[in-house]
Amino acid sequence: MPSRLTAGALPALALGAAILLCQAARADVPGAGAGVDESALRYYAASRQFARVEAETRRLQRVHPGWQPPKDIWLEELGHGDEEPLWALFAAGKLDALQARIDARRRSQPGWKPSRTLTEKLERKRLRVAVMSAAGEAKWETVASLAARIDGAETDPELLWAAAEGFARSNHPAEAQDILRRTLSGTLDPAARLATVQKAFALLPIGAAEDILAAAKRDPRVSDELGAVAGDVTRARIAAFLHRERSEVVADEEIRPLAESIRLSRDGGGASLLGWYAFARRQNEEALEWFKLAIASGGDAMTAHGLAHTLRRLGHMREAEDVAYAWREPLVQNAILFIDLLEIALTAEKPTRIEPERLERYARVAAETQSGEGAQALAWYATNLCQDDVALAWFERAVAWFPKEATVMGYANSLRRLRRQRDFVEVVNRYDGLFPRVVDLLFKVDDRPSVCDAPVKPPQPQSAYLVMDRPGTDPRNGRGLLVPRPPDEVSVEAPKVRRADFPIPVAAENPRREGRPSEVGRPVPGAAGGWRRDVAERGPLIARRVVGVAAMPYEAFGISLLPAYNGSEASSAFLSSDRVSAGTLWADELAGGASRPVLARRPSAAETAPALSGSRFVGRGRPDAPTTAGTAP
């Protein structure tokens, strides 16, 4: 028979064992009730001792102000003594071994099942492992789908942060905001509350993040701790202003401590952020200082981009050009900015003197990046310096890389100034439909004397010491610098051909539009001393037939269109002949009279531009077509 001491010790031992089981049951919830020992409370609730539950609740609230009892307190149940090995596996995180032990026991003991507490805790921990694993692999859609199964009473901050990030990065900001608000109100750990505010500004739109911050300020447990994240909040507000998510500027008294901290720590990222903020507010001198500090502190190519733009605003064009050139490879925007900076000076009507090394560098970058803007800038600069052959080489590349009306007109003008009349007419004919103003070059002949036709004497030196050839000047006309030729240009002597070699095939398009410039469109020796050219029989077809539109006029010359979206290869609309004026080129084409493009006969040898049949020059009609013909649509 047990003694009184032994008998009195049994309830205490039972209580201790039950508390240990309750602690093991809660081992999967890091941070839940941090600093509050709820083991006794959960034991009383599991054993349905209501008076003791109320007494323990009052005691915990006195010791821990602000603490509230868990919502799931009455779901607790006492663990069975035969589950101790199972709880040991659970506490060790060996979930697969635990499940295997449960399955084995069910087979050996029919009708046995684990307690509800163990089952719920196992499911919750499996869910936590799945969410954290998917978040570690950045599978945010998976995280969001798993997070929808999280219990509303969950208080694990790490799990809730991962769920909020999954919702935010899968474009569900409202759900992410709700989870972070719940995390802020449910945790007692001060560090976890501050981290929740930081998470809000990192994941949510600025408006939703400000709502979380306002809720934290209203909470007396959090309001006194927010000074530690003031810098992060300021950075987020500046970033929102730069991304145009926030219209209000950040107060100076809020930026001042952040700026001082960045200067002391030499934070390159923070200095770049303040530099862009000053640049957006057009505080150029301040932006320059911040960008310089950011570059000195390990700034990246985007920081250099801001530095170059700031130097351009301040009028330091040469310095901006050097910065953009130095950082052109890590960031394509810097290469584009480098081309744009010198283009302004190159395309000025009155050319200014530019150092030869700058021109060489610019030409090299323009050729390497195949920049149509850079090529046309060099072409216009050469044109203004009366270097027509160099201008033609750059115009040819500019039209191939980025054709636009002004560039095509410069290309055609260069051909005319070099007296390559046939090539000039072909260029005008090719771009007639795309750039109608190009056709005006045939009708508007400028008879005024050109400055390039007047002889220019080189300036006389002031002393015998200066009698030398100026480096970089054009020895032919002395009008300025010698514009560099394209780096990939290779001079080819005209081949010697026999009369029997004709007709020699020619390229139908700009030879530099496709393939390598040094090979495409160049004549090469063929068999038996003949000549051939690497030219495709038909250029690339880029036009597609449009349903409901009649046949195009140039289809009469054998040009085929790509099939329409429905596979149709024939025109689907036919215009009645009564809508076409008799005697016009259009009427002649609809009748099938045109067979090939023919240029009109020159009225006289004194005219510099060929006469045209009709009001549009595409060689559509016969040589004897009336000159008052209507215009084809």
- Note the pLDDT of residue 277: 93
Distance CA 159, CA 233 (A): 23
User: What was the pLDDT predicted at 155?
Assistant: 79
Distance of CA 274 to the CA centre of its chain: 22
Class for the domain spanning 263-346: mainly alpha
**pLDDT at site 580:** 55
| Cβ neighbours around 434 below 10 Å, total | 11
The full set of domain ranges for the chain reads: 263-346
36 backbone φψ class: left, alpha, beta (φ>0; ψ -120 to 50): beta
Contacts of 392 (CB under 8 A, 6+ apart): 379, 411, 414, 415, 418
Q: What percent helix, strand, coil does the chain show, rounded to 5?
A: 55, 0, 45
| CB-CB contact of 620 with 585 (8 Å) | yes
| Count of CB atoms situated within 10 Å of the CB of 488 | 13
CA atoms within 13 Å, Cβ hemisphere of 225? 18
- State residue 505's pLDDT score: 58
Q: What Cα–Cα distance (Å) separates residue 445 from each residue in 392, 409, 605?
A: 19, 13, 15
DSSP H stretches of helix in 266-331: 268-280, 284-296, 301-313, 317-326
Tell me, what's the pLDDT at 392?
Answer: 92
Q: What pLDDT, on a 0 to 100 scale, did the predictor assign at position 86?
A: 79
Cα–Cα distance list, 603 to 347, 600, 611, 612 (Å): 37, 9, 7, 10
- pTM here is 0.58
Q: Which of the residues in the chain have pLDDT under 50?
A: 1-34, 461-479, 490-492, 514-541, 575-578, 594-633
Rounded CA gap, 53 and 76, in Å?
12
Residue 233: other Cβ atoms inside 10 A: 20
Q: What is the DSSP letter of 418?
A: T
Say whether 532 sits in a helix, a strand or coil. strand
473 φ, ψ to 5°?
-95, 160
Q: For position 308, what pLDDT does the model report?
A: 94
How much is the pLDDT for 630? 36
Q: Which residues pair with 544 in a beta bridge?
A: 562
Of 478, 417, 477, 415, nearest in space to 450 by CA:
417
Neighbours of 324 (CB within 10 A): 28
In this prediction, residue 602 carries a pLDDT of 38
> What pLDDT is stored for residue 441 in this prediction?
83
